[in-house]
Amino acid sequence: MSDQGAEAQRTGRAAPSAMLRSRAEVPTARRIVVKVGSSSISGPNAGQIAPLVDALAAAHARGAEVILVSSGAIATGIPFLQLDARPTDLATQQAAAAVGQNVLVYRYQESLDRYGIVAGQVLLTAGDLEQPISRGNAMRAMERLLGLRILPIVNENDTVATHEIRFGDNDRLAALVSRLVRADLLVLLSDIDALYTAPPGEPGARPIAEVPADDDLSGVRIGDIGAAGVGTGGAATKIAAAKLAADDGTAVLLTSTAQVAQALSGERVGTWFEATPRS
């Protein structure tokens, strides 16, 4: 069992870890949460699952504990229900999620088999992380999975969630999971390679390399980040999630799914959100 897992069993909370101060320290991260969006791993981009798994497996092989927060259940289920677009009513969204989650985890496990890594499915609702008892249960289950060298794949439990109690997007879920397990690093993946000063593609828009802990990003004009149509997140949700995790002591790197290998190798890609030191 890892030191963090033992601490969790003793105190009910994961032990604090060393704070990462720069991208160069990413290869030393002991516990990493990676979040990937629907548009990056579903539909015509389903082929990105294999290189994503390659990068996760490389981090796993060097001893890191890796958690994947993956959207995509509804988007993956849509073609199996013979729908032309993302459903708007809750019942059909739930049906698509029930079918798509099964297919999505199968695809991940099929790719992970190449490395002898076993995935564990963890489905959460917002209520699970709001109530102390269920939050503690989720934390202990996650700690045990990591201690057994299982790779947890986390998603919102869309089949039972309602509009009133949803996380709203998996960027926030990933930040809350990072807080739950006291992760060293949160990597937020989308279709865009970094956070920009203005919507990418607009004249004068520049990538932002680093965001200091005390930067409120008031000078950034927010637009969408990622493909429309299958996901629910955008630049605003990613910034909010990044700040939530960083304020709790987890460094955050926002980049594209295509650059995940470089990101987890410590290369200078994406936007780095400096973490606030943990007390």
Feature table: binding site for ATP = 35, 190-191
Sequence-ordered list of residues with C-beta below 8 angstroms from that of 98, at least 6 positions apart, any chain: 77, 159
* Contact partners, residue 216, CB within 8 Å, separation at least 6: none
Phi, psi (degrees; rounded to nearest 5) at 147 = -65, -30
Binding residues: 35, 71, 158, 170, 190-191
Using H for helix, E for strand and C for coil, what is the string for the chain? CCHHHHHHHHHCCCCCCCCCCCHHHHHHCCEEEEEECHHHHCHHHHHHHHHHHHHHHHHHHCCCEEEEEECCHHHHHHHHHCCCCCCCCHHHHHHHHHHHHHHHHHHHHHHHHHHCCCEEEEEECHHHHHCHHHHHHHHHHHHHHHHCCCEEEEEECCCCCCHHHCCCCHHHHHHHHHHHHCCCEEEEEECCCCCECCCCCCCCCCECCEECCCCCCCCCCCCCCCCCCCCCCCHHHHHHHHHHHHHCCCEEEEEEHHHHHHHHCCCCCCEEECCCCCC
Annotated binding site for substrate: 71, 158, 170
In angstroms, rounded to a whole number, what is the distance separating the alpha carbons of residues 14 and 252?
Answer: 19
